[in-house]
Structure 1
Amino acid sequence: MTQTTPSQRIDFSPIVDRPPLKLPDGVRLVVWPIVNLEVWEIERPMARQILPAPTGQTLTPDIPNWAWHEYGMRVGFWRLKAALDRMNITPTLSINAGVCDEYPQVAAAARDSGWEFMGHSFVQMPTHKLEDQEATIIKSLETCEKFTGKRPIGWLGPGLTETYETPELLTKHGVKYCGDFVFDDEPTVMRTDNGELITLPYTVELNDIPMMLVQHHESEYFARRVMDQFDRLYLEGAERAKFLSVAVHPYISGVPHRIKYFEEIFERMAGHEGVEFWTGEQIHDWFQTTRQGA
């Protein structure tokens, strides 16, 4: 299979050289909320650690870090969902498809509330370490389709990991957008041998893993950074379409000392005129319609 680099798939395009994209009348800024659900297999080293490995030795089974993640599925998810339900916000669910098997009550709660399922591999491990990437993509999409009745059109690699071949494999199996390329404020078009793949403006800066676990900010900093981003994009939204994505994980943002900041940002954003909350599929469909009408 041809190894094509991202710069060969996507034309470099300074935002100042593009005609402004326009949102529907009355919409000034679109917020894209993403909840990430994962399966951490106890047989492997954990995807992340809240407690560092003792004496620098990574051990399996890693009970404390496995249990830390498990709290998110047993408790944290339900706090996040209650907040989103109360505010009538429908997020995109970035889901390891194995969640449908391992945590069916969680997956069913999201499905029954109309959340968009976005493919996120089968379990939480780097794409580069998969024995058969294509088979994993197929299994992930088919598992979600069987569970929800609808095949996902979006994809996010675990840890945003992709190989050079990933875009080809995604479009080959029906994926229409991905969030792994966090290089723009707007959707962009990526070329593959099977047609276009749309990149959506996902986030690493407004993601609770880098902010809380890598940079080790205090809990309230989450709200400060999100709202600083919101204020600037809302200002710029007077001139062209702008999108703000926020990505959270139940074992991080669903804990008691952080949940109020999650609630705060969405309450404050919803209080501004012209702000709407869209799923990734809605953003993709709007972009395609806008392009066709240009």
Structure 2
Amino acid sequence: MRTKLALRPLLGAALLAAAIAPHAAAQTIHAAVVRGSSGEPLPEVLVRAQSEDGRTVGAGFTRLNGVAVLRLREAGTFRLVAQRGGYNDASVGTVRVGEDGDVTVPVRMTARPFSMDTVTVIAQLRSERGRQAFNRRRVMGEGVYLDNDYLLQRNPREVTDFLIGVPGIAMRPGREGAVPVSMRGTRCMVTLVDGRPVPALMQPVERDVVRQSMNRLTANPRGHVISDPAGRSLNRMVFPDDVVAIEVYREWSEVPLEYRQYAFTPQTPERCGAYLYWTGARW
């Protein structure tokens, strides 16, 4: 009895401490992005919140209503950066968010005119690095572009998990995990790594062996197009920490001209969209 009585003050103190302990704060920024010319909501914009030292502390895409919801772990002063292909980057320099704060920030983006010398671009493709190609295509306004800054905010178990939350892509249940599929009708999707098609089948092997195999792949437009929509081959041969950027083309019309020779299924002439993963080897 004495032991129980002695424990009561300790138990009461613990309960009191738990009751008055500060809860985990949840800060939210609603970035409302519109077209500069019309004021209409602009979907599929990648918006990121950066701390004062330049770190990205939150990132997300705008939905059909033009709003991206960024949930932050800490209060403070942030800079918003908005990017979408075909538009000039936009930023809001000072956004203050207090603990448990919920702030709505308007962002206006203007369309970016561009010109392209087709002959020059084609001549540069062979020596062009992944970063150069990624940035060149992002200007053109087709597809969705996930740069390394965005990927570092994710916590994927498999490479295909990077596609969760990408506009126009849905994750469907599959035999070996979630399957990324295009919402643009019933589009087939092919997978490229460092600009090369992925082999249709590959057994689990050591990482160094996989990378050596990737270096030996040839760009055969009909022999290596992936026929496994679940991405099982990709998850066996590429690891999340190998990927530095991803290009997502949800239908054939978005696929760059230099990759359209791969954007179909080998069994049928159906035209497909494409996922293009970049690793450090070609970046």
Question: TM-score normalised to the size of structure 1?
Answer: 0.23
Q: Identify, as 1 or 2, the structure richer in strand.
A: 2
Bigger relative contact order, structure 1 or 2 (CA pairs below 8 A, ≥6 apart): 1
Q: Identify, as 1 or 2, the structure richer in helix.
A: 1
Question: TM-score normalised to the size of structure 2?
Answer: 0.24
The structure number with the bigger radius of gyration is: 2
